[in-house]
Structure 1
Amino acid sequence: MYGRPALPPDFVSLPYANPDAPKGGRIVFGESGGFDSLNPFIVSGIAPAGLTAHTVETLLGRSLDEPFTLYGLLAESVVTDEARSFVEFTLREAARFSDGSPVTVEDVIWSFEVLGTKGQPRYATAWNKIATVEQTGPRSVRFTFKAEDRELPLILGLRPILKKAQWEGKDFTRSTLEAPIGSGPYVVAAFEPGRFITYAKNPDWWGADLPFNRGQHNLDEIRYDYFGNGGAVFEAFKAGAITSWRETNPVKWERQFDFPAVQSGEVVKSVIPHSRPSGIEGFVFNTRRAIFADWRVREALITAFNFEFINRTLNGSIPPRIDSYFSNSPLGMTPGAPAEGRVAELLEPFRDALLPGALEGYALPVGDGSEANRRAIRRANALLEEAGWSVQEGVLKNAEGQPFTFEILITNGADDIINAATIYVEGLKRLGIEARVTTVDSAQYKERTTQYDFDMTHYIRSLSLSPGNEQTLYWGSAGVTEPGTRNWMGMNSPAAEAMIATMVAARDQDDFIAAVQALDRILTTGRYVIPIWYSDVARLAHRRELKYPDRLPLYGDWPGFQPEVWWYQE
């Protein structure tokens, strides 16, 4: 995205992959919930884990050791101009789908168009910025852009390439249990909807000897088993049915990993550090609901969230709190500090529309750590009164006499989140607020969040060191009414969209960082999410036969790390 790739043209493998890793073996993951579709590219249906990552390839592949750098995969070369007003890809002559047919320019053009017009909303943003598409050679295709966006060549390089002939005469927008024909290292070997899916290594995979792939995709079989909840998955791991487990609770990591397989060394505990942003996780307000439209109400509910007590109760106070969307990285704002320099310049034109703290400085409220949290409750009560709410006979009501009540929607099996929400609900009673926790299965959860049919829900957005076009899908105003975006909070901020436009147009790192820091201030002071905690390490427990390189990537345990660079060795 900026500067030059870190690896030379004749690189042997990615720096965090072991080119001499042995081949063979299997890994078994456990998932909560289920799936009912094998089309992961559309809004309808729930696709199984790993389908795109293991079976479908893109024109370029991402290195996890650089903020945003791509190397050739299906494409042997990429050409663009200094302004990045176009991009031209030339396919590798050897590129093949799993059925042996060649990957063609026709497949590329069709994939881009069908995803951009019929796929999930995240694909449409880039497609709508393309002015023309033309085949420029037997294996070459050029995309010319109608909008300035320096990230577009990279975004297009990461679009999945599907086989056009497979979909002729079929409705791409309908859920199906027919697996897509991809060119990736694995094929779907067996599945039972809602119970399991197995991916088997394709012995004729065309890309096994590419430098980008050396040391990757070493396992013969990758399997995902589905269970009713996270507790059942953990029990299956303890029993040996699951061979890798990602633990998010640091207290559980310390206290519950003493079962016989750990004591005997059959299971190994690995801690993987990373240098990526915290992202945002917590409870998101649906501002489409009138009850959450006032920022003072949202600030009051953030203030009433007793983070210090909840974190100590559930996590032993080990994980730090998320300060802002890009905290734990140079892209994050400094909590409490006023905007300065280029950041202040970018925000100044929107001064009248920004919420308090964006320019002056903002930090999350801090509780006293007690269960009562009286000082925070008093502050929250004052904010609610400013917003027109008052306690009447022990119940918080507005001027029309309507009580303050809402639902927190959570998917089944998210035990830590359910526990945090339950403690929060009890604390809200001190304000006269009646909140309730509702748990639903994964299918209902997806349907309701797709349609924004919730008051408050659990929310996660992982963010990279090179944010770009995807931020429009996360925070763009189209998501206020358009279903299926990731703008669950329903925010409509011209200032945020202007910062995103500045980010993707930036030509040097300083301007880019300033734009992201400005966006971070807009998002954080928007009070759209009650932030909880994040982990600056990943905690992976796995069978001792499963191994990974000593050299870890910049992004640590991130999609593309496990199982991609792992191997099996007795």
Structure 2
Amino acid sequence: MYGDPALPPDFVSLPYANPNAPKGGRIVFGNTGGFDSLNPFIQKGTVPWQLRFWGYEGLMGRSWDEPFSLYGLLAESIETAPDRSWVEFTLRPEARFSDGSVVTIEDVIWSYETLGTKGHLRYRGLWNKISAIEPTGDRSVRITFNEPDRELALIAGLRPILKKDQWLGIEFGQGALADIPIGTGAYVIQNYEAGRHVTLARNKDYWGKDIPFRRGTQNFDEMRIDFFGDGTVLFEAFKAGDLSAIREFNADKWNGQYGFPAVVRGDIVKTEIPHQKPSGMTGLVMNTRHAPFDDWRVREAMLLAFNFEYINDTVTGGVQPRISSYFSGSPLAAQAGAATGRTQTLLAPFNSDLLPGTLEGYALPLSDGSARNRKNLRKAAKLLGQAGWAVQDGQLRNDTGEPFLISVLLRQGDTDMQTVVEIYARALERLGISMTADKVDNAQYAGRVAELDFQMTPFRRALSLSPGNEQRIYWGSEVANTPGTRNLMGMESPAADAMIDAMLASETRADFVAATRALDRILTAGRYVIPIWSFDVGRIAHIKELRQPETVPIYGDGPQYMPDLWWHQK
């Protein structure tokens, strides 16, 4: 995106991979809930989240040690116009699908069009920005864009390529459980039992096993996912030796509940993985499409009533720091105090529409750490009064007499968030607000979130060091009211839309950082999410036979790290 890629054309392997890692072994993971689909590319159904990372590839692949740099994968070469108005890919002649058939330009064009018109919402934005996609040779295709957006050439390289002939006579968006897309990746689904387990095997004839981008990766012969009713049962299965590895997101649990016999014996190893990526946003999102959360004063009152210091101490032992903004912990984060320089210039035209704190600086409420949180509750009550809410007979009501009732949509088994909501509800009672938890299974949860049928619900949006077009999907006005949108808060902000435009049009790193910091200010001062703690380090507990490279990519842990870079040491 800016400058040249870090690796030379003749690189041997990715800098964080072990090119001599042995192949073999089996690894077992655990998921909560179940699944009713094995097609990760459509909107319909609940799919094991790992599938789109393990069995499918694009024309290019990401280096997790460089923001905004891609390298050839299915494509052997890439050419783009100086203004990035088009990009041309040439396929490797050896590229094959898992069934052994050759990847063709026809497959590529079909994949872009099908995913762009019938696929999951995450794939549709690009198709609307393509004015033409046409072959320029037996193995080459050119994609021409209809708007200036320097990132589109990179996004185009990451679209998964599927086999066209598989879907003759089958409606792609309505496939049955048995309609598993054929991809080009190293792993294929070997067997499964609906809602209970899925097993993937490494394709011994995988076409890309010797290319530098893949050297030292995808080392396990077999990877299995078992499904459990909730996190407690999953953890017990790990302790019993039924699972090979588990990610732990609660520092208090990591420090206090990982002293079981297998850890003491050394059969289970605790590994921490540092990273340099943004915090992203984790917390409780408020649906602003309806009252009462369409009023920023109410949202600020909800933030004031959320006693983070006390809750964090109760749930995580107080060791995990709070998320302070969407890009906190990275150079892309909004700077403290008033906006200055290029960031201020970008925001200035929207001054009259910006919420308090956007330009002058906004900081999350800070409590004294005690259970009562009296000072912030008084501030919250004052704001609620300004918004038209008053306590009548111990219950907060608006001017028409409607009570302030909140339902929080939760997944069954999300024990940490259930604890958070229980503590939060007791604080809200002191304001006359009644909060209840609506606990549903995974399928119901996915359906209700897709239909935007919630008032509040847990929210996690991971963000990268190379934010771009996906920001439209996360926060853009255009998708705010679309079923299945990832803009769960329903924000419609011309200022945020303009900052995303500025990010995508930036020709220098400095302009890009300024635009991202401006977007961070709009999101944070919007008071859409009640942030909780950040995941400042990755934590994986695993059997002693599992090993990982000494070099950690700047992105740390994630689907690209475990299991991609690990191996089984006999």
- TM-score range normalised by the length of the shorter chain: over 0.9
Displacement of 1:96: 0.4
Does the 8 Å CA contact 2:50/2:559 hold for their aligned counterparts?
Answer: no
Corresponding position of 1:361: 361
Is 1:501 paired with 2:511?
A: no
1:56 corresponding residue in structure 2: 56
* Aligned twin of 1:260: 261
| Equivalent runs, 1:298-377 vs 2, <5 Å | 298-335=299-336, 337-377=337-377
Q: Whole-Å Cα distance in 1 between the matches of residues 158 and 78 of structure 2?
A: 13
What is the alpha-carbon distance in structure 2 between the residues aligned to residue 6 and residue 32 of structure 1? 39
SS in structure 2 of the partner of residue 495 of structure 1: helix
Q: C-alpha displacement at 1:129, in angstroms?
A: 0.6
Q: Per the alignment, in what secondary structure is the counterpart of residue 201 of structure 2?
A: strand
Report the count of equivalent residues.
569
Q: What percent identity do the matched residue pairs reach?
A: 59
Structure 2 equivalent of residue 469 of structure 1: 469
- The superposition leaves residues 428-467 of structure 1 with CA deviations (integer Å, 9 ceiling, x where unpaired) of 0000000101111110010000010000000000000010
Paired with 1:393 and 1:441, the residues of 2 have a C-alpha distance of 36
- Per-residue CA deviation, residues 28-79 of structure 1 (Å, 9 max, x unaligned), is 1100000001111111101123211111111101011111211110000110
Between the aligned partners of 2:410 and 2:517, the Cα distance in structure 1 is 30
2:238 alignment partner in structure 1: 237
What's the counterpart of residue 550 of structure 2?
A: 550
Give the corresponding residue for 2:212.
211
Contact 2:409 2:439 in 1 (8 A): yes
Partner in structure 2 of residue 129 of structure 1: 129
The equivalent of 2:170 in structure 1 is: 170
CA distance in 2, matches of 1:289, 1:456: 11
* Aligned equivalents of 2:537, 2:3: Cα separation in 1: 28
Write the letter of the residue equivalent to 1:151: E
* Distance (Å, rounded) in 1 between the aligned partners of 2:142 and 2:391: 63
Identify the residue that residue 400 of structure 1 maps to in structure 2: 400
- TM-score normalised to the size of structure 2? 0.99
Matched residue SS, 2:533 = coil
Q: In the alignment, is the contact (CA less than 8 A) between 2:409 and 2:440 conserved in 1?
A: yes
What displacement does 1:369 show? 0.6
Which residue in the other structure is 1:26 paired with? 26
Cα pair 2:270 2:540 within 8 Å, conserved: yes
Do the aligned residues in 2 keep the contact of 1:24 with 1:219 (CA within 8 Å)? yes
- Looking at structure 2, the residues matched to 328 and 541 of structure 1 have their Cα atoms a distance apart, in angstroms, of 25
Q: How does 1:415-494 map to 2 (within 5 A)?
A: 415-494=415-494
Provide Cα deviations, 1:144-200, integer angstroms capped at 9, x if missing partner.
111011000110111010000001111111142221111100110010111000000
Question: Partner of 1:154 in structure 2?
Answer: 154
Secondary structure of 2:11's aligned partner:
coil
For 2:372, the aligned partner's letter is A
Q: Residue 275 of structure 1 corresponds to which residue in structure 2?
A: 276
Q: Give the equivalent residue in structure 2 for 1:381.
A: 381
Q: Distance in 1 between matches of 2:223 and 2:504?
A: 36
8 Å CA contact retained: 1:332, 1:520: yes
Tell me which amino acid in the other structure corresponds to 1:211. P
Distance 2:239 2:68 in 1: 37
Distance 1:43 1:449 in 2: 12
* Distance in structure 1 (CA, Å) of the matches to 2:399 and 2:283: 30
Matched residue type, 2:348: E
Using the TM superposition, give the Cα deviation of residue 342 of structure 1 relative to its aligned residue in structure 2, in angstroms. 0.4
- Aligned twin of 2:104: 104
**Residue 413 of structure 1, CA deviation:** 1.4
Equivalent pair of 1:38/1:175 in contact (CA under 8 Å): no
Q: In structure 2, the residue corresponding to 1:466 is in which secondary structure?
A: coil
CA contact (8 A) 2:218 2:564 kept: yes
CA distance in 1, matches of 2:480, 2:502: 22
RMSD (Å) for aligned C-alpha atoms: 0.7
User: Residue 406 of structure 2 aligns to a residue in which SS?
Assistant: strand
8 Å contact kept, 1:27–1:221: yes
Distance in 1, Cα, partners of 2:314 & 2:396:
27
Is the deviation greater in 174-183 or in 154-163? 174-183
CA contact (8 A) 1:17 1:216 kept: yes
**Counterparts in 2 of 1:288-299, with a 5 A limit?**
288-299=289-300
Contact 1:306–1:373 (Cα < 8 Å) also in 2: yes
Which residue in 2 is equivalent to 1:224? 225
In 2, Cα distance between equivalents of 1:316 and 1:228? 26
Deviations 1:377-427 (A, max 9, x none): 000000000101001111000000100001001111111111111110111
After TM superposition, where is structure 1 displaced by more than 4 Å over at least 4 residues in a row?
none
Amino acid in structure 1 at the alignment position of 2:533: W
Question: 1:500 corresponds to which letter in structure 2?
Answer: I
Q: Distance in 2 between matches of 1:526 and 1:175?
A: 39
CA shift digits 1:487-508 (9 cap, x unpaired): 0000000110100011011111
Retained in 1: the 8 A contact 2:384–2:390?
A: yes
Matches within 5 A, 1:527-538: 527-538=527-538
Q: Secondary structure at the match of 1:507?
A: coil
Question: Deviations for 1:237-279, whole angstroms, at most 9, x for unmatched residues?
Answer: 0000011010111111111111111011110000000000000
Counterpart AA for 2:396: L
Q: d(CA) in 2 for partners of 1:511 and 1:461? A: 24
Distance 2:158 2:322 in 1: 32
Where 1:137 maps in the other structure, the secondary structure is coil
Cα deviations across residues 174-230 of structure 1 (Å, max 9, x unaligned)? 142221111100110010111000000001100000000000000101111000000
**Is the 1:479–1:488 Cα contact (8 Å) retained in structure 2?**
no
Structure-2 separation of matches of 1:503 and 1:129: 16
User: Is the CA contact 2:31–2:226 (under 8 Å) kept in the aligned structure 1?
Assistant: yes
Residue identity matched to 2:448: R
Instruction: Compute the TM-score of the two structures, normalised by the length of structure 1.
Output: 0.99
Cα distance in structure 1, aligned partners of 2:443 and 2:478 = 24
CA distance in 2, matches of 1:481, 1:465: 27
> Is the 8 Å Cα contact of residues 98 and 181 (structure 1) preserved in structure 2?
yes
Letter in 2 for 1:259: F
**Contact 1:40-1:52 within 8 A present in 2 as well:** yes
Whether the 8 Å CA contact 1:126–1:152 is kept in 2: the answer is yes
Tell me what 2:65 maps to. 65
Q: Does 1:115 align with 2:115?
A: yes
Partner of 1:7: 7
Q: Secondary structure at the match of 1:291?
A: coil
